[in-house]
Structures are given as C-alpha cells and as structure tokens.
Structure 1
Amino acid sequence: MVAFSSFLPSLLLLLLPSLQHHHPHHPQHHHPQQSFSSQHHPSPSPMHQQVGGLLIGNLGNNTGNGSHSSPPIQHAGAEDTVHWQQQIVKYTACRQASAPHYRARAAAIAGRMSNNNKSAISITDPNRPSSTKPNGFHKKDNSISGQTSDSDDGSGTPLGRPGSALSHPSALASPVVVSSDASNQQPWSGLDLGGIHLKTLSPSLFAFSHVTSLYINHNSLTTLPAAISLLRKLTVLDATGNQLRAIPPELGMITTLKELLLFDNQISDLPPELGTLYQLDVLGIAGNPLPESLRLILEKDGTQALIAYLRDSCPVPLPPPDREWATVEADNGLSPETAPESFTILCYNILCEWYAPGATYPYTPGWALAWDYRKELILQEVMGCGADFICLQEVDEEQYNDTFLANLSKEGYEGAFFPKTRARTMASEEKKHVDGCATFWKASKYNLVEKRVVEFNQVALQRPDMRKSDDMFNRVMSRDNIAVVCLFENATSGTRLIVANLHLEWNPSFRDVKLVQIAMLMEEVEKIAGHFAKYPPALLGPDRTPGPSYSDATKVPLIVCGDFNSIPESGVYEFLSSGSAPKDHEDFMDHLYGSYTTDGLSHKLNLKSAYASIGELNMTNFVPIFKGAIDYIWYTQNSLAVTSLLGDVDPAYLSKVVGFPNAHFPSE
C-alpha cells in the first residue's frame, strides 16, 4: 500500500499487481534440514581440468570406477510402452557411463573427431577462462527460451495474437528482453564428477551457478544437499548409481531441468515439489524401489504426466508473513496532518481467466490455476483492503459483471469498465470474454463526473503525422490496448481527481509501441484534465456553496496506474518520471512515428512513481523467466504526496517459490 498527502486529498496507494496473498488453513509441512561435509573421496590425479567445455574431476587412472552392483533392468510389463522403452534406453546408456569421467572422455573423443585442425583437445584452467568457445559439450545457450518466434526483430520472444496465451507474460514469455551478462560467460558449462567414489558434495560446488550439466553418477552419495537448488541453470543432472534414499524437495526450484537421471538408487518416494519441473523431458527412475503407482504413471503417459501428478498432489506450503508498511515523509511540504482529505487506491492485474491455461503456467497446480479458486482469493484481497479506488486490469465483461460488480456493489462501490478495442468487431457473446480495464470507487465518497476510454490504436489513426507511417499501421494499429480515464468529485468537498487505469502492450519486441502508447495517453490526459479544469465548481450542501476551482490541467490531481509492462530502466518509465524522452530514444529502435521521432516526447504533468522515494518494489511480476517491477502508480507531485507504502513480499518466502500464480497469490 501507499499513502499520500496533498493540497487536496491525502492519498494512500495500494499497489497489488498480484502481490497480496491468501492464508488458507492447512497442516504445517516441514522438511528436515540436512548438513553435508565438504570432504571428497581422495582422487589419484589433479581435479578441475577442462575438456571440450566440460569441467572434470580428474583425467588420471582410477583404481575403481565407483559403480556398485545394480539390479537387472526392469520391464514395465508383458508389453513395454513407448515411454518405458525410452526409459530403458536412457537407463542402459547411463549404466554404461560408470567409468570415471565417462562423459568428459566421450566429449574429448567427439571433439577430436570433429576438429580436423587439432590433434588433441586443449585442457585449460577454468579460473583463467579462454576466449575460445567450448567444443560442443552442452554449449551454453544465451537465448531467453528455446522456442522459435515470429518476432520481426529477431528477439526470440513470441508475438502471439491479441487474446492468445502468448499475448501475455507467462512462464513462456517475458514482458522485457532479458539479455545475458557477457562478463559472466564461462569457458565451460558442464561438470563431470562421475565414477570417482564421492561420498559427499562440497558446498563449494554450488558456487558454480553457471553450470548447465552436472554428472555425479556412479559414486557413493547417500544424500543430495538442499543447496543443489542454487544451480538454477542446470538442464541435466545425472545422479545414477549412487545410494540415494531420498531427493531434496528443493530440487523443484531448478525449473530449467530437462533431464533428471536417478537410475539405480534406493529412492522410495518422490517429493511432490518436483511438480514444478515443467520443462523436464526425462525423469529416470528405473532401478529404484518407488511405489508402483508412480512407475505406472510414467510407464503409461510419460515424464510430464508424472510431473503433473506430483504438481497437483503437492501440499499447500505455509503462507508468507503479511507485507509490511513503510511510512514516507512527504518531499513537497504536504502531510497527513495538514491535508484536508485522504484516499486509498488499489492497482491489480488479476490475470484474466483466458490467459491462464495450464500450458501457460505449467508450474502451478491445476486447482490453484482454476478461475473458481483464483477469483475467490482475488475478491478477498480486493474487498479486504477497503480501498477508495480499485483499478483492475485483465478483467473481461463477464467477470466484471458477475464477479466484481456483483460483489463490490454490496460494499458500496460503483464501477466503470471498457474492453480492449477488438471487442468492437465481435458478437455479443464473444465480446464478453475480451479483457479490459475496470475502475471501482466508493460511491458514498466520490461522484463520477465522466468516464472515457482511450483506445491507443484509434488515437494513433487520428494523428495526421502518423497516417503516412508504415510502423504505425504495422505495429501500433495491431495492438489493441486501452486506458480507462475516470473524472471524480469528492461528494463532501467538491475536490476533483482524475484516475487513469491502463494496460500497455506486453511484448518486449514492441517496446517502441509501449512508448508511443504512453505518449498518446499523456496527451489525451492533458486534454481531459484541461477540459475538467474548466467545469464549473460543484455546488455543495443545502446552501449550494461552490467547491474548489482549477485554473488549468496541471492543477487537477491525477493518478496514472496500471500494468505498464515496463521496467524502471525503460523508456516508458523515463518519459513519465522526467517529462520527456528524446526523439532518438533507443526504445524507438529504427521505427518512425511522426513528431515523436522527429521532435521527441514531452508532458507537463509533473508525475512521480509512488515507490520512487524508497525504491520500486523488487517485483510486481514473478514467473520463472522474469522477476521485476512492471506495475506502477504515478501521481502529480504538486497536488498529492505519498505518506505510506506497502512493502515487498517476504524474500524468504520467494526464495522457495518458483513463480506466481500459486496457492497464495492468484495472479502472476
């Protein structure tokens, strides 16, 4: 939450783009903490050498291969299924990799065969990285995701059509481009500690956070430390042929895993927390005394079916503690003591039902993703805060009427809703499922004077300087985002307030469009505020006393809030906070937008982000591939002041969570 003081109202802002939580009643679950020795079994030759991009334990001769007696290969039944056949093929290959550093040696041989210009594979010190690329052993992939894209700028981010699952940030797509840090590049990405009689894993191992492949197979390990979850880039973990009796639930935090090979151990059960491994292609379980029910799921339907079963059967974890309030000292001379009025505002992207299929958030249990479950949590959060203004994004017409207005009206709220532009061309039944923005207010405290919708693509079409721009037609016109602008008067004092509730384009490939959209909104809001300032003052009380008057647009208090899909380093944030953006701003890229790219952008509204005085929230969007602030509440500094803010979600809780939505947070 956020609180303000002002020449008019003292403003309390509640920023909740999915950050409130529900505290379901459930039994408490604890996982025992384990300690591990950093001592390694002695190895006869030097450790930490590099072969073909793979760091290995040693390249000398061992007295043994570290393997132990293994049971015969299991068969699923009289007639093996395709999934079990694949399991056995992988099982056989892993058994054959029992010699010391088998993978590293295989990579070296492959490297020699593929490199005609070298007679040997160089071995380098990993602490002195070479500038040459590794020889093809799990080469590091710098892309955000492994999927192809129709993106016209080659960013690798899927564009998606408006209204589709891929037209929305999710586990599959980030709202901003996340580039890899070249300074952290390593010459090797695989680590082979296989077949060398290890009994424990050193804590220092988990400092290699860049590692994508870890081979600890055919050793004498009896446990895996929870700290293994620090290796958040792992795609392959092979722990075949050890003496493991259990798997740490923290392993479920490594959502990048594609192969988890646990063949030939003594594992009697799988922690349900592994259900978050939504990218896992192979879960190797043969050769373990696991329950028949788990093996049959994998046998019949494959790895992802078993992961889904674990995900949906996972117990609800303990909820986080309540978010703490931070008191803010006003920097413009306003304070709650001197302010005649105060109000609160809640901003919340609720995650529309149609943007949340299981495939889009595959780490979330099906029951927690279901709209019937999520809407109850959302209603509890929205109604529980008791805010004077509630600004929601991604609400469709049916949800607006049946879920929100139906319940909020009982608490004295009225509302205004507009869907995205595409609803114009749809039949009445279809348009009910088009999302938009909804604003609610306490009718006993504020009177709605006027409501307007700003359709960004329609505003662009009306600009003469953009009509000849191919970029306007090809990029801006194809995105149908909107803003809902409501004009209010205080029922008691007659003071005025404008609340703009918006949802900008999400796709990072269209960061130019985001900047164009916010520029158009500021122009429209300035016009609306100018007209509002000229309205005659409200007449108050029995004696019809005139309320306050406003000389121009900049004097009318203004809130601009919503889902901006833009980080603090973006052009959108820079423009709003500074009041300008140069004509050659990098977010325009090479696109042309009339006066915006010939003269630059400017506005006169003197805006400030509510959280700017203490630092933006660490995140308002939390999914496996992106964690950051993209939702904001902006206010006019000359007429409003923040007095308190609702802080971040507990970091300890977040460290154990893959992403939102989950059992406690119904939106991402």
Structure 2
Amino acid sequence: MADTSAYQRGTGQTFFSQHAQNLHRNLPSRVRSPNNPRIPFRNPETPSPTRSPGSNSPHQYGMFNQNHGHQGHNVMMNGGGHQRYMQMNLGKPFNHNQSHQHHNHAHQQHQEHSGANHSGQYNHQHNLSSGGLSNAQPHFTPGHLQNGTPGSVHSGLSKPVNEHWAEQLQLAQRSREMTQSHSHARNHPSVNKSVVAGTTNGTQKEEPKEERNRPAANRVEDAKANHVWTILDFGGQNLKVLTNSLFNYNFLTKLYVNCNKLTFLPPAVGKLRNLTHLDASLNNLHYLPPELGMLVNLKQLLLFDNQLDSLPYELGSLYQLEMLGIEGNPVPDELKSIIVEQGTTELIKYFRENAPGPDPPPERDWIVLDEISDPSSQESLTALSYNILCDKYCTQTQYGYTPSAALAWDHRKETILAELRERNADVVCLQEIDQESFNDYFRGALAHNDYKGVFWPKSRARTMAEKEAKLVDGCAIFYKNSKYVLLDKQLIDFANTAINRPDMKGEHDIFNRVMPRDDIAVVAFLENRATGTRFIVANVHVFWNPAFTDVKLVQVAILMEQISKFANKWAKFPPCTDKVMFRFTNGDGDEGKEVPDTTQEPGPSQEYSDGAQIPFLLCGDFNSLPNSGIYDLIVQGNLPNSHQDLGSRKYGNFTRDGISHPFSLKSSYSAINELSFTNYTPGFIGVLDYIWYSTNTLQVVGLLGDVDKDYLQRVPGFPNYHFPSDHLALYAQYLVKGRKEKKALVEPDFGQGRERDRR
C-alpha cells in the first residue's frame, strides 16, 4: 500500500494523446447522477471527454494552455477523484502555490470537463490511476484500453480495495486537502450564513441547505430551539491545546479541530453529548480519552494522520458511528484489518463486546435525615421501588451502547435479585416485571428472604393466549411475611375504570386516548403483626409517552380516586384475629431447663376514623418530571381543570370541576430536592420515579443517595454490568408517627364553694 500521506496537490498538464479520440469513444456511457448533472456542451468546438478539439479551438492538443494556473478555488480529494469547485464570496482569497498549477502533473488520467469556457464556476474532475494516489481504486481497467494502448500501463496496480476501505481512503484524501484555516466553514457557505445571520431579511429563518449533495444534518431539538449556531470550526489554527471552556458548549452538533498541533483531546470532550461529527485529523494525537465513548450520537469520527497506536475500548459505546477515520495512524494490524474488511460498524461492535467494562462504582451514600433515638420502641419500615426493565424491552436496538452480555436477562435478573436482597426492604415495589419472571424466578427466590408477593400483569394479558400472556409485564408488591399480614389486594385498571365512569361515557378523548392504554396499578393493604399498624401500599406504572400528558394525568387522577375509596372501606375493616405466623414449641436447654418462648405476641389491630389516617406509601414509575401536573396534583391535593397538561381535552368531572384527593403526600426525596436522576440514558437523564408518603402518619428518616458522579464520566447510559436497568432503585426508611388519642373532656370539680356560687 502506498503512503497516502504524500499526496499530490496539483494535477499538472492535461492533454489529448494520439489515442485519446478512440479511447473516449470506446468508453461505456455513464448514467447521469441526479445529484451532479452534467452540463450539456452548447459549443460543438468546446473540448470535451467525448470529442476531439475542433479546428477553431485555441489549443488543439491541450485542454488548458501551459501557463493556465487555477486560482481562487478549493481542492477536494475523493479517493481517485480530484474535484475542484470555484469558491465564491470568501472573506479571503485562496492563494495556491506552484504545485497547484496543472502543468506540473504527468499522470495518465481520465478527464471530465464541463462548461463552455474556463470563466465563472466550473467542475473539473480527475480520476487518477497511478502515482501518489495508488491507494485509490482506479477508474480504468486494462480492458478499457484499446487501439494500441499497452495493457502494461496498469500492471503495477494493487487489487481494488473493498467499499469499506475505499470510503475511508476517500475521506482521508479529502481531509488532507482541508489544510486552510476554517476550511470546513469556507466550504459550507450555508452554514456560515446561518451562523452569522440566522434569518432572511430579519424576519424568517433560512431554510436548511444541502451540503455536498446530502441534506443538511438534523440538529438536536434543544440546540435548534435555543441556539442559532451548532457547528464550530477551529481547523487550521495551529492550536496546541483546547481549553476546557469549549466543552461547555454542549449544544454543538459538529466540531472541527483538524489540521492543528494537538497532542491530546481533553477528557472534557465527553460533555459534548450532542455531537454527530468530530474531526481531529492532521494533528499529533498520541492517545484518545476514554470519555469519547460518551458521544453516542456521533455519526462520523475522523482521526486521519495522527500518531494513534491504540484505541480505547470505550469507543464501543458509539453504536451510531458510521465512519471511524483511522487511516494514517499506526494502529495495530488486528484492529485495522477489522475496519478494512468489515467496516466501522464491526470494529465498534468488537470494542463493545470485548470491553472489560467500567470499574464498579462506589456504594451509593446513605443519607440520614433524622436519627432514630430508640429503634426498639419506635416502629419503622423501609420501602424500595424499582423499574427493573422488562426483558422484551431490553434489546440491542434500544440500548446499542451496552454489551450484549450486560443486556442478557440471565445476567440482569441475578443482579436485580442481589440488590433486592442487599437492601432487604420491608416492602418492595417492582415495575416492568413480567408474569413469567414473577412466577418462575423472583417469587421463589425472594421466598428464601421471607418475602411474599402480589402481582398483576397489564390488562392486555387477558386477551392473549397463555404463552404470550406470560411475557406481558405488570406491577408486583413484595412484603416481609414475618412482619406483615396481607389483609386485602386490589387491581386498578385505568382504561376499564375510565370507560365505566358515568361522567365519562360518550367522551371521545376517553375512547381515543385513555382506553387504548393498558397501564395498571396494584394496591395492597397490610397490617404489622406485632404493632397492629395498618398500611396502604400502592405500586403504579404510568403511561410513558411525553406527548400524552393528559392521559398520564387522568390515570393518576383515577388512581387517587380509587385508592381513596379503598382506604375508606379499609378504615372500617374489623380487627385481624389470626396474626401469629408460627410459634416454636418449648424444648429443653443444655442444662435440661425449659427454653422460654420468645415469639412476640401480636398487638391489637389499629383503628382509623377515615382512610386518610392510614399510613400510605405510593411507589412507582410515573414517567413525569417534578414540574409536571402529576407532581403538583399529588403534593397539593388538587389541580384546576385549566391546567396546561389537560389541554382542551374532555374528561368528564376531571376537566369540568378539577381533580382532588384527600391525602397529605410528599415525595420522599423532596428533602434533598429529588435525586439527580432516576432514569439514565443517552437520550434522557431525569427524575421519573418516586416514593410518596403520607406526612400525617409517616416521617422519612433515611434515603439512598445518588450514583457516584466520577463513575458516570465514562458511562453514557444504563443498563450496564453494574446497573441492570435504565432506572435506579429508590430506597427510603420511615418512622410511624405516634397517634394522638382524643381524650374526653372532663369538667373540673371546684368543690362545694363552686356549687354555692352557682346558687
């Protein structure tokens, strides 16, 4: 393979040989490209690839005269194609040296020339078959040469490379031509205009333009809404280092730092998570930061002509990468052979599947909000809520940045089970757990840890055959069997409840928007065996689509309405008389003495005047941010019918009178202004999951904190080997507040004197 770094800047003299006329006539006709139409020749005497020079042509045997130097144009290399375009309206002229004049080139060429003369804008293309571009695929084969042209002309050519490497070589040659300062900006006048002006006549945004026969890249929505410019070109500036402040521009979609003197890229480059194009070619880079793996939106990463002798495994996260430009680097042969033979996608897959994975993160901090003074005398409980990511949703298409081994259900379910056992919560609420996993794995495995469970699948399971129904996900509640007894359990089917409400019959929005969703909630009514305290535990998974805020709000409104009805019914439940789970028989000790029975006697069942007095935990994946209508409704207890999340939809009493519920609820994590996130993916990082608690009966005293921030610097998203779901587990501890008994008013006795005063 020839050294492509020593490329030719000019094409030298161009002429018609004695065989040129016959040669061109024997070339097969070429289909005109719709993106690059050939301009028809109006002058029959104009030299063209299919005609010999006419008698009136100024130079019968030369397409250009000997001293014809092309000035004011940019040069672009595309493998074997050498294209020139007249650059118009540039701020600075492009001055060529002598090597850019055509009379210094002596390679055998095939020429395409368009235009009636050499003035104005023209296209001039050369397909080189030898010389400095021997890596490029030749346009000619010996079969093309006839009429006495020796076949030995091409005998020294290597075997044509495949399409993967040919594209790599084309881009490499093109990058080597982009040596002028701000070359990309100069060659993209449409980008320049949008950056400088952004409007047309100050009133209307300029329409996206095509670049190099391709549509302009789609900009990230946030960048499009908040920034006029999203592309930055620092090419050809002789930069030796990039300041970290550059990487605060996280709205950038394209960054060009090619043709500089950089020896490294700062780790802060991982902040530019909206980048689709990064060009760091023609520098002196010796290594790449692992943080490049954070840029999962990259389509093109060009690193031509650097000093890279290794590549980080973290590049395996770049599952959308279409071109990794490594030509001109001393990378190991085993890596280069993959990209040469199979392309960028296979090399990225190799990195992803063979990466050792990040080091395990530190344990999440336990945040103490209030000390428990006397654990033996104060009743407490712990609760965990976790969307475990159903197996059928966990695909390589959805989570392409994650190794297949980390996505495998066998690995993930064991990691989930290990965390549940480690937390050892009194109550566990799981979302996206399918019926098969509940019955065949988690119920049996958690039984060894003293758990019993309640599960319902989503409503569509009722319409399916048993084989398909067992793969439908739903919600499950597990509770410590030795501590609690299950008094009642209920399913809330949002769609079925909505269509059966009298006030919603005939509402089109109910049938068109709410009824097609099969989301559910599961509610359990528990009693503490020892203290008699009763609890309501609800677990819900709200509809996911952010465009349906009204549907989410209606689902939560139905949820709170139904729980309120259940709570009022449960407040009148009779005392539980059979709460002893088991009792050990008395036996003899080591000295023959009788061993006393230490089984705690169950306490009497607590009584409640109304449902709002029962301790209440509401867990789940609400698919809603803290600034949503759902959050406001749960915390404030009411929501006006004019709320923006309802829009102009019609949902019976909810949109006529507003929405309300009787509970006093608060997010457990509101004490620390919520977690940094509960859902972590490249496309979204935010809070969607909550554990709400009744403030009149419970007090939160401890919380499981955030994931270590340093660990996240090299992790583009979950799931991975350490976090088996794209959601985090929430875990909190509560104290049960003492009940204030109402005492009967007793009239004070002031003795006989008081009686005399009355008389």
On whether the aligned pair clears a TM of 0.5, the verdict is yes
* 1:526 positional shift: 0.7
Contact kept, 8 Å, 1:62 with 1:196, in 2: the verdict is no
Q: 1:104 matched to which residue of 2?
A: 185
SS at match of 2:697: coil
Instruction: Return the match for 1:621 from 672, 679, 691.
Output: 679
Cα deviations by residue, 1:532-574 (Å, 9 ceiling, x for unpaired): 1111112378999742211111111111101111110011110
Paired AA for residue 176 in structure 2: R
Distance in 2 of aligned mates of 1:411 and 1:122 = 62
Instruction: Return the match for 2:363 from 303, 315, 322.
Output: 322
Instruction: Return the match for 1:484 from 509, 522, 533.
Output: 522
Instruction: Return the match for 1:358 from 370, 389, 396.
Output: 396
Matched, 1:534 2:600: no
* 1:496 positional shift: 0.9
Q: 1:147 matched to which residue of 2?
A: none
Measured at CA, do residues 549 and 202 of structure 1 come closer, stay the same or move farther in structure 2, by a change above 3 Å?
closer
Between the two proteins, the alignment pairs up a number of residues equal to: 559
* 1:337 positional shift: 6.2
* 1:133 positional shift: 4.9
Cα deviations by residue, 1:92-122 (Å, 9 ceiling, x for unpaired): 33233233322222123x689xxxxxxxx69
* 1:489 positional shift: 1.3
Cα deviations by residue, 1:42-96 (Å, 9 ceiling, x for unpaired): xxxxxxxxxxxxxxx995778999xxxx996377983533322332332333233
Contact kept, 8 Å, 2:303 with 2:324, in 1: the verdict is yes
Distance in 1 of aligned mates of 2:449 and 2:277 = 53
Measured at CA, do residues 410 and 77 of structure 1 come closer, stay the same or move farther in structure 2, by a change above 3 Å?
farther
Distance in 1 of aligned mates of 2:645 and 2:329 = 54
Which blocks of at least 5 consecutive residues in structure 1 are unaligned? 1-56, 113-120, 145-178
Contact kept, 8 Å, 1:140 with 1:189, in 2: the verdict is no
Matched, 1:571 2:609: no
Distance in 1 of aligned mates of 2:176 and 2:183 = 11
* 1:254 positional shift: 1.8
Matched, 1:277 2:318: yes
Matched, 1:200 2:245: no
Cα deviations by residue, 1:137-196 (Å, 9 ceiling, x for unpaired): 79785554xxxxxxxxxxxxxxxxxxxxxxxxxxxxxxxxxx5695x524x322222234
Measured at CA, do residues 131 and 100 of structure 1 come closer, stay the same or move farther in structure 2, by a change above 3 Å?
farther
Cα deviations by residue, 1:624-662 (Å, 9 ceiling, x for unpaired): 111111110111111111111111112222233211111
Measured at CA, do residues 406 and 200 of structure 1 come closer, stay the same or move farther in structure 2, by a change above 3 Å?
same
Q: 1:225 matched to which residue of 2?
A: 266
Q: 1:185 matched to which residue of 2?
A: 227
* 1:399 positional shift: 0.6
* 1:134 positional shift: 6.8
Instruction: Return the match for 1:216 from 253, 257, 262.
Output: 257
SS at match of 2:669: coil
Measured at CA, do residues 358 and 632 of structure 1 come closer, stay the same or move farther in structure 2, by a change above 3 Å?
same
Cα deviations by residue, 1:267-299 (Å, 9 ceiling, x for unpaired): 222111111112212211222222233233223
Q: 1:588 matched to which residue of 2?
A: 646
The two structures have a TM-score, normalised by structure 2, of 0.69
Q: 1:496 matched to which residue of 2?
A: 534
Measured at CA, do residues 382 and 232 of structure 1 come closer, stay the same or move farther in structure 2, by a change above 3 Å?
same
* 1:123 positional shift: 8.8
More deviation, 564-573/275-284: 275-284
Q: 1:93 matched to which residue of 2?
A: 174
Alignment of 1:520-531 (within 5 A): 520-531=558-569
Distance in 1 of aligned mates of 2:294 and 2:641 = 43
Measured at CA, do residues 180 and 289 of structure 1 come closer, stay the same or move farther in structure 2, by a change above 3 Å?
closer
Distance in 2 of aligned mates of 1:421 and 1:237 = 47
Distance in 2 of aligned mates of 1:502 and 1:297 = 47
Contact kept, 8 Å, 1:64 with 1:196, in 2: the verdict is no
Q: 1:261 matched to which residue of 2?
A: 302
Instruction: Return the match for 1:434 from 445, 450, 472.
Output: 472
Paired AA for residue 403 in structure 2: P
* 1:466 positional shift: 1.4
Distance in 1 of aligned mates of 2:455 and 2:240 = 62
Which blocks of at least 5 consecutive residues in structure 2 are unaligned? 1-89, 99-131, 138-156, 581-600, 727-759
Contact kept, 8 Å, 2:293 with 2:316, in 1: the verdict is yes
Paired AA for residue 286 in structure 2: R
Cα deviations by residue, 1:490-545 (Å, 9 ceiling, x for unpaired): 11222211110111001101111110000001111011111111111123789997
Q: 2:700 matched to which residue of 1?
A: 642
Paired AA for residue 374 in structure 1: R
Contact kept, 8 Å, 1:453 with 1:485, in 2: the verdict is yes
Cα deviations by residue, 1:190-225 (Å, 9 ceiling, x for unpaired): 222223433333444334433322222223333222
Paired AA for residue 344 in structure 2: T
Alignment of 1:417-456 (within 5 A): 417-456=455-494
Contact kept, 8 Å, 1:58 with 1:101, in 2: the verdict is no
* 1:257 positional shift: 1.5
Distance in 2 of aligned mates of 1:544 and 1:268 = 71
Paired AA for residue 567 in structure 1: L
Distance in 1 of aligned mates of 2:604 and 2:236 = 87
Measured at CA, do residues 628 and 202 of structure 1 come closer, stay the same or move farther in structure 2, by a change above 3 Å?
closer
Paired AA for residue 253 in structure 1: M
More deviation, 649-658/321-330: 321-330
Contact kept, 8 Å, 1:246 with 1:268, in 2: the verdict is yes
Alignment of 1:79-478 (within 5 A): 79-108=160-189, 133=205, 136=208, 141=218, 143-144=220-221, 182=225, 184-186=226-228, 188-329=229-370, 340-478=378-516
More deviation, 632-641/542-551: 542-551
SS at match of 1:316: coil
Measured at CA, do residues 541 and 97 of structure 1 come closer, stay the same or move farther in structure 2, by a change above 3 Å?
closer
Instruction: Return the match for 1:73 from 135, 158, 173.
Output: 135
Paired AA for residue 351 in structure 1: L
Measured at CA, do residues 402 and 64 of structure 1 come closer, stay the same or move farther in structure 2, by a change above 3 Å?
farther
Q: 1:659 matched to which residue of 2?
A: 717
Contact kept, 8 Å, 1:511 with 1:587, in 2: the verdict is yes
Could you say what the CA RMSD is over the residues aligned between the two structures, in angstroms?
3.1
Distance in 2 of aligned mates of 1:545 and 1:338 = 15
More deviation, 255-264/346-355: 255-264
Structure with more contact order per residue of length (Cα contacts < 8 Å, sep ≥ 6): 1
Q: Percent of pairs identical after alignment?
A: 47
SS at match of 1:612: helix
Distance in 2 of aligned mates of 1:573 and 1:327 = 24
Matched, 1:605 2:663: yes
Cα deviations by residue, 1:459-515 (Å, 9 ceiling, x for unpaired): 111111112111111111111011111111111222211110111001101111110
Measured at CA, do residues 199 and 549 of structure 1 come closer, stay the same or move farther in structure 2, by a change above 3 Å?
closer
Paired AA for residue 472 in structure 1: I
Distance in 2 of aligned mates of 1:599 and 1:77 = 80
SS at match of 2:417: helix
SS at match of 1:613: helix
Distance in 1 of aligned mates of 2:521 and 2:159 = 62
Cα deviations by residue, 1:400-458 (Å, 9 ceiling, x for unpaired): 12221111111211111110001001111111100001111111111111111111111
Measured at CA, do residues 658 and 82 of structure 1 come closer, stay the same or move farther in structure 2, by a change above 3 Å?
same
Please say which structure displays the higher CA radius of gyration: 2
Contact kept, 8 Å, 2:665 with 2:692, in 1: the verdict is yes
The two structures have a TM-score, normalised by structure 1, of 0.78
Instruction: Return the match for 2:545 from 493, 507, 514.
Output: 507
Distance in 2 of aligned mates of 1:111 and 1:357 = 37
Paired AA for residue 275 in structure 2: L
Measured at CA, do residues 199 and 638 of structure 1 come closer, stay the same or move farther in structure 2, by a change above 3 Å?
closer
